[in-house]
Structure 1
């Protein structure tokens, strides 16, 4: 278990969802936010709104390093200045040490864990909207998947998302979170 900032009451911490692209962070995050009566933020969607273009266009126009800086600025500020939200991170966000440390210290980080074979079933639906998939071979994507999974292991809770539907996953998470709030 990762140490958390104890100055923020557990019931006020942001709940942060991490995992590989296509793991269901946005879908499950929206369901979880509704169940907990909290606002939901999708980090990529928030950045898209601010810049008036999709992440794929930000990557093309500004480059990945610029996007990663935008992402870091947004998420570290959110972690330090915002409470009681459910936040879905982009698949690569957690790779940045500063973002990872801010999330782990000020929030409750859930890794939505998906096996490679299950992820492959989602590949066709993802390729058009995920900039990192558009220029990589399947072997390179699998390497990225495995390297990110190592970093995602630095979390408070891991939830296997292969065998359940998003509603079941969100409900199980909400029950677990409510119990932890009652034990405060």
Structure 2
């Protein structure tokens, strides 16, 4: 799940940048929104949303309804998928005569995927250290970071596939982002229903 999440989440710095360059109308009243500024959406969203999510998790915990770690991973995958769904809808319904889409769907995609990141990333290392035997904590933490690096490697391959040999087009972007949405959604659903079994194997670790 971690490899899959980062494989698609890291499109933010690759295929999404190509999308912003080639297909997003960045003109705002005669001023062109810089491509690099899209990379500021994620950290800004983290600063704004993380405290709210902390409050939500704490409130659910008091009521005994806080999602388990596997369910949070599932929500992370789903948040990632919903970001791609926004781009799918934009590329299907909002393309203008110049083969461009508005700026806001891409910006909103970053925000939605940040919500998914906050469901998965903060609890990952904590889960690893809690589940690993004391003498293997270092090795399991290394494996966790290795899974992230593998996800990043696959992200590059995916971005190259989406962009194609001749550069990104509306058709190639729609195909690539549709594939991403369906795969992430399927993985999220499978993980959601496997969560009770995984929880048993975790022996009550939260």
Q: TM-score, normalised by structure 2?
A: 0.32
Q: Which has the higher strand share?
A: 1
Q: Which has the higher helix share?
A: 2
Tell which structure's C-alpha radius of gyration is larger: 2
Q: TM-score, normalised by structure 1?
A: 0.35
